Structure 1
Amino acid sequence: MALDFLAGCAGGAAGVLVGHPFDTVKVRLQVQSVSNPKYRGTIHCFQSIIKQESALGLYKGIGSPMMGLTFINAFVFGVQGNALRYLDNDTPLNQFLAGASAGAIQCVICCPMELAKTRMQLQGTGEYKSKSKTYKNSLDCLLKIHKKEGLRGINRGMVSTLLRETPSFGFYFLTYDYLTRYLSCEISDSYIIPKLLFAGGMSGIVSWLSTYPIDVIKSRLQADGVGGVNNYNGIIDCVQKSYQVEGWRVFTRGLTSTLLRAFPVNAATFATVTLFLMYMRSENNINECESGPAIQQANSM
C-alpha cells in the first residue's frame, strides 16, 4: 500500500506538469459564451493565452491539482491495487471494478480540487471578470467559496464528478491492463518504456472518450455563479439548457485539447507508476517475476 501511495504521487506530479496547459485550454473552451466566443479553437486558445497572459497563463490553477494529486493518486492506485488483490482474480471485469471503485472514492478530493482549478483558470477572463471575486491561489479560492456557500459550495459538481470518474477509471485501468498484456510488456523487454507510454496514453484517451459529455456538464456547473448569476439548477437543467442553446456539439466542446492532453499526461503517469513499482521491488521479487505483463507484476506487490 505504501509503495502504491508513493508511485501514485510520482505519477500524478509527472502528469500534472505535462498536461495542465491542455486542461486550461479545455476549460476555457468548455465554458466560453456561444454568442460571443473568445476562442476559435484549440490552437487559437493556446496562442491567445500565451499572447495575453504569457506562458504562465497556461498554468493558472496548477496549485490545486498539484496539491490534490498527492492524495488523489494515492487513493486511485492504492485502492485499485488493493481492490484487485482482494478480488483475487485478474479478469477484465475485476480490472474494471477495481478501477471504478478507485474513481468513486477519489471524488471526495477530486471535486473540490477541480472546482478551485476551474475558478482559477477562468478568473479575470471574458464574462468571468469580477473585481470582487479575486482568488490569490487555489486554497484561498476554496476558503472563500466555503465562507460564502459552506460545504455544499466547495462540493459543487460532486454528483457529475462521481458520474464521470466511476466509469472512466474503470475503462482507464481495463484498457491499460489489456494493452500491456497485448504488447507483452515484460521487465526484460528493451522496448518496455515506449510500450508503457503507448499503453498509458491510449488508456487516457479511452477513459476520456467514455465520459466526456459529463465532464462538459461538470465544468459548466462548477463555473456557474462566478459572475454572480446562477444559470443552472442542476445536472438535468444544465444538459437541457446547454443543448437548447448550442445543440449536441456542446457536449464535445474542448474535446480536441482534452485528447491532446490525455495521451502525454497518462503516458507519463502510468509509465512513472509502473516503472517506480518495478524499481522498488526487491531483487528477489524481480527474479521471481521475470516474465508476464508489467502492470500485473507491479500490482502483485
Structure 2
Amino acid sequence: MDFLAGCIGGAAGVLVGHPFDTVKVRLQIQNVDKPLYRGTFHCFQSIIRQESMLGLYKGIGSPMMGLTFINAIVFGVQGNAMRYLGRDTPMNQFLAGAAAGAIQCVICCPMELAKTRLQMQGTGERKSTRKLYKNSLDCLVRIYNREGFRGINRGMLTTLIRETPGFGVYFLTYDVLTRAIGCEPDAPFMIPKLLFAGGMSGIASWLSTYPVDVIKSRLQADGVGGVNQYASIADCVRQSVKKEGYMVFTRGLTSTLLRAFPVNATTFATVTLVLMWARDREAGQKDCEAAPPTHPAQLQAPGQAQAQVSSF
C-alpha cells in the first residue's frame, strides 16, 4: 500500500509541478547572448502566450512514465536500508535516502533526458511545425538509435551527484522537521504539519544540489541542434562560468523553489490520505484498530517529487 500511495502522490505532484519545471529548464538552457526570457514570470507569460497552456506541460509523459518505477525503487531501497541500519535516526534517514536517490538514477536519468528534450522542442511556437520527437518513448528510441546506450544515459554522472545527497537531505530534513513540530498520528493539525514539513524538505533538497542540476540540464540539452557544445562536465562548468559568471548556477532557481513547496506538499497530502484510508479499511476488516506508525517518517513519503523531482 505504501507503494500505491507513493505512486498516486507522486503523480499528483507531477501534475502540480511540471509547469514550473518547464520554466526552470527553459531558463537554465536559454542562450545568454540572445535570451528569450527576462525571468521566471516573463517565461511563464511567454510560454502561455506563444505556445498556449499546453506548452507548460511539454514532456510530462516522461516523468509520468518513469514514476511507477522510480517510486518502487525509492520505497524499496529506503525501507530496506532503514531496516538494515536498525535505528530510526536523522543520520540513518539521510543514509537511506541517499541510497534510494543513487539507485533510482537508473530510471531518473533517461526520463529527465527525454523530458528536457521535449520541453525545449518548439520553443516559442504555438503549433510546432517541425517535431523531432513525437513523445517521450520516441525521443529515447531516436536518441538510442543515433547515440546508443551512452546517449540515453547522457548526464548520468551529474544526475547521480544531484540525486544522492539530494534525497539524503530530503529525508533528513523531513525527519528533523516532523520531530520538531510534533507530527504524531494523534497530534492536532497533523496534515498541515506534514504539508509544511514536506514542502520545506523539498526546498532544502533543491537548495543543496541546484548548481549540479543546472549543469545536468545543459548537458542533456546539448546536441539538440546537431552540434555538441560541451566535451565534459568540467568543460560545461568552465564554459558556463566564463560566459555568464557564477550566477549561472542560480538560473531557474525561483521557478524551482516555487515548484518545490506545492509539489512536495501535494505529494505528502495524497500519500497521507491514501495510507489513512488503507489503514481504516484494514482496521474495519479485522474489526480492530491497526497500529499506527510511531513517527511520520515511517510513512515514507516519496522524496522524488522534488526532481522530476524532479523533481531536482
TM-score range, shorter chain: over 0.9
In structure 2, the residue matched to 1:288 is 291
Residues in 2 aligned to 1:246 and 1:70: alpha-carbon distance in whole angstroms: 38
TM-score, L = length of structure 1: 0.92
In structure 2, the residue matched to 1:29 is 27
* Alpha-carbon spacing, 1:29–1:164, altered in 2? closer, same or farther (3 Å): same
Contact 2:28/2:251 (8 A) holds in 1: yes
* Alpha-carbon spacing, 1:78–1:269, altered in 2? closer, same or farther (3 Å): farther
SS of match in other structure, 1:288: coil
Where does structure 2 lack aligned partners over 5 or more consecutive residues? 301-312
- Counterpart residue type for residue 153 of structure 1: G
Q: Using the TM superposition, name which of 69-78 and 243-252 deviates more.
A: 69-78
Where does structure 1 lack aligned partners over 5 or more consecutive residues? none
Cα deviation for residue 190 of structure 1 reads 3.9
Cα deviation for residue 133 of structure 1 reads 6.2
Q: Using the TM superposition, name which of 153-162 and 187-196 deviates more.
A: 187-196
In structure 2, the residue matched to 1:252 is 250
Residues in 1 aligned to 2:177 and 2:274: alpha-carbon distance in whole angstroms: 19
In structure 1, the residue matched to 2:47 is 49
Cα deviation for residue 131 of structure 1 reads 7.4
Q: Using the TM superposition, name which of 3-12 and 38-47 deviates more.
A: 3-12
The one-character-per-residue Cα deviations of 1:92-113 (angstroms, maximum 9, x if unpaired) are 1100000000000100000000
Matches within 5 A, 1:16-95: 16-95=14-93
- 1:200 maps onto 2:202 in alignment: no
Contact 2:78/2:96 (8 A) holds in 1: yes
Q: CA RMSD in A?
A: 1.8
Residues in 1 aligned to 2:263 and 2:73: alpha-carbon distance in whole angstroms: 18
Contact 1:9/1:71 (8 A) holds in 2: no
SS of match in other structure, 1:226: coil
Contact 1:4/1:81 (8 A) holds in 2: no
Cα deviation for residue 132 of structure 1 reads 7.0
The one-character-per-residue Cα deviations of 1:197-236 (angstroms, maximum 9, x if unpaired) are 1110000000000000000000000000001110001111
Residues in 1 aligned to 2:270 and 2:173: alpha-carbon distance in whole angstroms: 17
Residues in 2 aligned to 1:132 and 1:226: alpha-carbon distance in whole angstroms: 13
Deviating 4+ runs (over 6 angstroms)? 130-133
Contact 2:93/2:172 (8 A) holds in 1: yes
Contact 1:274/1:294 (8 A) holds in 2: no
Residues in 1 aligned to 2:189 and 2:64: alpha-carbon distance in whole angstroms: 30
The one-character-per-residue Cα deviations of 1:224-263 (angstroms, maximum 9, x if unpaired) are 0001110001111100010000000000100000000000
Residues in 2 aligned to 1:85 and 1:58: alpha-carbon distance in whole angstroms: 40
How many residue pairs align between the two structures? 292
In structure 2, the residue matched to 1:161 is 159
- 1:124 maps onto 2:127 in alignment: no
Cα deviation for residue 288 of structure 1 reads 3.4
Contact 2:178/2:194 (8 A) holds in 1: yes
Q: Using the TM superposition, name which of 175-184 and 43-52 deviates more.
A: 175-184
Residues in 2 aligned to 1:16 and 1:221: alpha-carbon distance in whole angstroms: 23
The one-character-per-residue Cα deviations of 1:101-149 (angstroms, maximum 9, x if unpaired) are 00001000000000000000001226xxx97761111111111101111
- Counterpart residue type for residue 27 of structure 1: V
- Counterpart residue type for residue 154 of structure 1: I
The one-character-per-residue Cα deviations of 1:1-43 (angstroms, maximum 9, x if unpaired) are xx23212211210110000000000000000000000000000
In structure 2, the residue matched to 1:97 is 95
Matches within 5 A, 1:122-161: 122-125=120-123, 134-161=132-159
Residues in 2 aligned to 1:101 and 1:145: alpha-carbon distance in whole angstroms: 28
SS of match in other structure, 2:182: coil
Contact 1:200/1:271 (8 A) holds in 2: no
Residues in 2 aligned to 1:7 and 1:63: alpha-carbon distance in whole angstroms: 20
Contact 2:14/2:63 (8 A) holds in 1: yes
TM-score, L = length of structure 2: 0.89
- 1:216 maps onto 2:214 in alignment: yes
Percent of aligned pairs sharing the same letter: 75
In structure 1, the residue matched to 2:259 is 261
Residues in 2 aligned to 1:286 and 1:248: alpha-carbon distance in whole angstroms: 56
- Counterpart residue type for residue 233 of structure 1: A
